[in-house]
Amino acid sequence: MSLQPHRLQSLDQIRKFVSSGGEAGFRHTDRTSAYEFCRVTLVRFRYASLGRRDKGTVRSYLAKVTGLSRAQVARLIRQYRETGRIVDRRGPPGNAFARRFTKADIGLLAEVDAALGQMCGHATRAVMRRMFEDYGDERFERLASISNGHFYNLRNSTTYRRRRTTCRKTSARKVQIAERRKPEPRGRPGFVRVDTVDQGEKDGEKGVFHINLVDEVTQWEHVGTVRAISESCLLQVLEELVESCPFKVSGFHADNGSEYINHRVAEMLNRLRVPEFTKSRPRRSNDNALVESKNGNVIRRHFGYGHIPKPFAAEVNVFCRDFLTPYLNFHRPCLFPTEVVDKKGKTRKRYRYKDTMTPFEKLKSLPDVEQHLKPGVAIADLEQRARTTSDLDPALALKKARAKLFDLIQRETDPQRRRTA
């Protein structure tokens, strides 16, 4: 669509055009042609002799057709009334500072960066100084004494970017969620570690994901399973795991995975009144070592590395809740370390037979354990639950339920077995 403004010969036509609304569909290709159009229009309609209302109509018309702002049109009209012309007054200031570094210097800097591979400022400046002082290259006379700050100013200049374009990796963004430190339970239960374990991949499709929640002091463990590690799938199961702990959860620690370090998880922990939310430090592999070891000794031992399709996430989660978690906490012994200082003064961990106990036994052995339990939870009730059966019966029930679960998964995913059934 193009506009032919010369067809608007009267003020009434211009007034109707301005009041019609919408875009003009016409823009000048350069500033000079826009200024010339303004001058011709002012001359044609004898702007100086118009009344106030008609002058406003002409101003709106010029702004709409040229795409200039009303303030810009007002400045052009003032220039026309003062000088009878409309010219582009842009340009360098009358008393501009003298440039110390010329375009040739900037081009030389771009040439040096291309040859050296974009080194840091100090290294590049040292090379340019050596080129002038040691090798007598007169081209580097000004660049030899450039400051580090102005060096980067030249690199950011338009002249430099036109000669040389560089690509940078995306800078890491600091996430102000959770505190980056190691938890300090000081012998108190309720400081849990969490991690995610993927369950295989087949034909490019991920399987289910296990959420492993382990208390640092008692090794009390809860395992849940979700279809995916997205917020919609993970939050509900994660909240159920936290609330299932018999003790008050005072700390929640995760690695730096985005499935846990996000605002939704932080809001959930705040709603559950968990006071501490921490995340692992870089180059500190021991920060989340306990749950990482449980991933191998528990999750992989019972589920292996094979692919479990996502549609079976609910069945696997029920298996973890009804069979795996009770067995782990009441009937599976764990090793608890004792710290010993050797002759060199170094603290070492010793795993003694007498310190081998189940997570529940470790929990009830803690001093003042009652004050750490949730309201409505008593050690006597947990003791009765643990003594209902022996250690072997839950292990056999777990094994039987696991075989039934994997038989269901294999029968549903194997077309040959599905036809036989």
Report pLDDT digits (tens) over 133-144.
989 999 999 999
Q: pLDDT band at residue 2, thresholds of 50, 70 and 90?
A: very low
Q: 219 and 311 in one domain? A: yes
Q: Is residue 314 part of a domain?
A: yes
Q: 282 and 156 in one domain? A: no
Q: Is residue 169 part of a domain?
A: no
Q: Is residue 225 part of a domain?
A: yes
Q: 61 and 201 in one domain? A: no
Look at residue 29 and tell me whether its pLDDT is greater than 60: no
Q: 144 and 285 in one domain? A: no
Report pLDDT for 24: 54
Q: Is residue 368 part of a domain?
A: no
Point out the domain boundary residue: 26, 49, 83.
83
Q: 217 and 119 in one domain? A: no
Q: What is the mean pLDDT of residues 45-66?
A: 89
Q: pLDDT band at residue 1, thresholds of 50, 70 and 90?
A: very low
Q: 133 and 24 in one domain? A: no
Q: Decide which of 241 and 286 is more confident.
A: 241
Look at residue 416 and tell me whether its pLDDT is greater than 80: no
Q: Is residue 359 part of a domain?
A: no
Q: 330 and 268 in one domain? A: yes
Q: Is residue 65 part of a domain?
A: yes
Cα–Cα distance measured from residue 139 to residue 132, given in angstroms and rounded to the nearest whole number: 8
If one counts the domains in the chain, the total is: 3
CATH number at residue 282: 3.30.420.10
Look at residue 60 and tell me whether its pLDDT is greater than 50: yes
Q: 143 and 9 in one domain? A: no
Q: 228 and 292 in one domain? A: yes
3-state class (DSSP) for residue 305: coil
- The amino acid at residue 345 is G
- The amino acid at residue 225 is T
Mean pLDDT, the chain, as a whole number? 86
Among 385, 367, 373, residue whose Cα is nearest residue 329: 385
Q: Is residue 419 part of a domain?
A: no
Q: Which domain holds residue 149?
A: 103-163
Looking at residue 214, what DSSP letter applies? E
Q: pLDDT band at residue 28, thresholds of 50, 70 and 90?
A: low
HSE, CB side, 13 Å, CA atoms: give it for residue 280. 21
3-state class (DSSP) for residue 347: strand
Q: 185 and 152 in one domain? A: no
Q: Is residue 201 part of a domain?
A: yes
- What is the pTM (predicted TM-score) of this model? 0.60
Q: 394 and 245 in one domain? A: yes
pLDDT tens digits along 219-248? 999 999 999 888 778 888 999 999 999 999
Instruction: Kindly state the percentage of the chain with pLDDT values over 70.
Output: 91
Q: 244 and 121 in one domain? A: no
pLDDT tens digits along 133-192? 989 999 999 999 999 899 999 999 988 988 887 666 776 666 678 888 888 888 899 999
